[in-house]
Amino acid sequence: MKKRLILVVVTLVSFLFLTQAATAAYDSAQTKAAMKQAVQTFKDLNAKVTAKDYYGAADKFMDIAKLFKELESAAPPALDQAKWTRIHEGIVNAAFKGIGACGLKDDKGIQQAISEIIKLRDEGHQMLQPKK
């Protein structure tokens, strides 16, 4: 009886793992929707930074981190997966730096984090452009 229960549990856990892996597949519509959301989030972030609303800016940095973390596992199949992961992890880490800078009310650090995010975002966009 215990062996059967263990087998059922292992089977269910394996099924859940495989289901999760399958849902992480690239979804062009998801990526485009996330990019549209990112544009608005960047606008909101810039407004918070301009207003010196450090808490609000930190919140927007966290939104950016969440958004790009979700996209990290959904790389387009034809792209360099390692590069895709490096870019997304870099954006998440830069967003965390921005949050830290907000906590210190470090305007220069906030701008550095934003610049780092933009640089990585642009590198990611270049990956998605058709090759000429």
The predicted model scores a pTM of: 0.76
Q: What is the pLDDT of residue 2?
A: 53
Q: Which are the contacts of 87, defined by CB distance < 8 A and separation ≥ 6?
A: 120, 123, 124, 127
Distance between CA atoms of 11 and 132, rounded to whole angstroms?
47
Q: What is the pLDDT of residue 8?
A: 41
| Higher pLDDT, residue 54 or 31 | 54
pLDDT, tens only, 1-39: 555 545 444 444 444 444 444 445 567 777 788 889 999
Residue 108 has pLDDT above 60, yes or no: yes
> Sign (positive/negative) of CA torsion 67, 72, 73, 78?
positive
Half-sphere exposure of 76 (CA within 13 A, CB side): 13
Structural domains in the chain, CATH included, are: 27-128 (1.20.120.290)
Q: Are 58 and 103 a contacting pair, CB within 8 Å?
A: yes
Residue 78 has pLDDT above 70, yes or no: yes
